[in-house]
């Protein structure tokens, strides 16, 4: 009998990342960890086979912890991706009136995705960042003042919290992209995506244009491009790019070879099947 895959994720149970794990592999053995960094550490030490982490939200943008982990931290690669619609709910103790709430707990991404709702409906509540949406429910229930949490309905059910309102996200098309981290990326499928980052030692007119031209000249579509500080000096950036194609495709390989000649640092995060929305 084949042993179930061990999947590490940002816990505790009840997070959106747990839901992403179930959508990715419903038969996997799910192991929660208190932070994304510890999920990566579990993969590196073979305590789990793969780890699932959020990397990008349609409202809040890139997830800094995951991006920084790929850029500066582990040697893990992206083996797969999936996109999950995100629905946030307001949870509290039984009998809590929203007008009485003084503190609102949630993960920073969830707080950002419900910013307009909070400003309009809970203007007197102080937002407090939690390690996860599920952990926010535990903190809310233990808080000494009247509090609420933004989390999944499942987290409320698991911890005995009362559902105050569902669907409080500011935008109804709120979606989060998750990546599956592993020791190796995915073999070619014919419909793939590759994620990379690069930076320059010197700043000069046209250097970014020249690098991007290597992809444009080969008709390689860029699905995403963004920048993040290098942490070395103000005004210096690392550029993150998602491109269509696999790193082993001849045309992609040729483009990456030319890019490597023009940059001071190039890191390939991995190639993996491009997720198609159902």
Q: Which residue positions in the chain have pLDDT lower than 50?
A: none
Q: Report the pLDDT value the prediction gives residue 202, as an integer from 0 to 100.
A: 83
Active site residues: 176, 178
Residue where the block lists tokens 């086979």: 49
pLDDT of residue 2: 67
What CATH architecture applies to the domain 192-273?
Answer: 2-Layer Sandwich (3.30)
Homologous superfamily assigned to 6-86+174-182: Periplasmic binding protein-like II (3.40.190.10)
- pLDDT tens profile 37-75: 999 999 999 999 999 999 998 888 888 899 999 998 778
Q: What CATH topology corresponds to 89-166? A: D-Maltodextrin-Binding Protein; domain 2 (3.40.190)
Here the tokens at position 269 are 């995060």
Indicate where the chain has its CATH 3.40.190.10 domain(s).
6-86+174-182, 89-166
């Amino acid at each position: 009998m084949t042993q179930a895959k061990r999947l590490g994720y940002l816990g505790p149970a009840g997070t959106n990342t747990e839901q992403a794990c179930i959508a990715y592999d419903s038969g996997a053995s799910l192991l929660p960890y208190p932070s994304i960094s510890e999920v990566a550490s579990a993969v590196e030490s073979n305590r789990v086979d793969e780890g699932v982490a959020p990397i990008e939200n349609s409202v809040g943008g890139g997830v800094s912890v995951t991006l920084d982990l790929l850029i500066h931290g582990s040697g893990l690669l992206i083996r797969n991706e999936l996109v999950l619609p995100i629905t946030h709910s307001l949870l509290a103790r039984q009998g809590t009136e929203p007008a009485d709430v003084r503190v609102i707990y949630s993960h920073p991404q969830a707080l950002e995705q419900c910013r307009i709702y909070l400003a309009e409906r809970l203007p007197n509540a102080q937002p407090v960042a939690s390690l996860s949406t599920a952990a926010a429910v535990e903190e809310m229930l233990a808080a000494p003042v009247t509090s609420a949490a933004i989390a999944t309905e499942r987290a409320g059910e698991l911890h005995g919290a009362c559902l105050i309102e569902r669907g409080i996200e500011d935008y109804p098309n709120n979606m989060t992209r998750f990546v599956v981290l592993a020791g190796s990326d995915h073999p070619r499928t014919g419909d793939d995506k590759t994620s990379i980052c690069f930076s320059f030692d010197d700043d000069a007119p046209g250097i970014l244009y020249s690098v991007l031209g290597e992809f444009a000249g080969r008709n390689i579509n860029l699905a995403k491009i963004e920048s993040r500080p290098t942490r070395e000096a103000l005004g210096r950036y690392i550029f993150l790019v998602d491109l269509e194609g696999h790193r082993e495709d001849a045309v992609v390989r040729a483009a990456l070879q030319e890019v490597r000649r023009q940059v001071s640092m190039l890191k390939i995060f991995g190639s993996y099947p491009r997720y198609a929305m159902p």
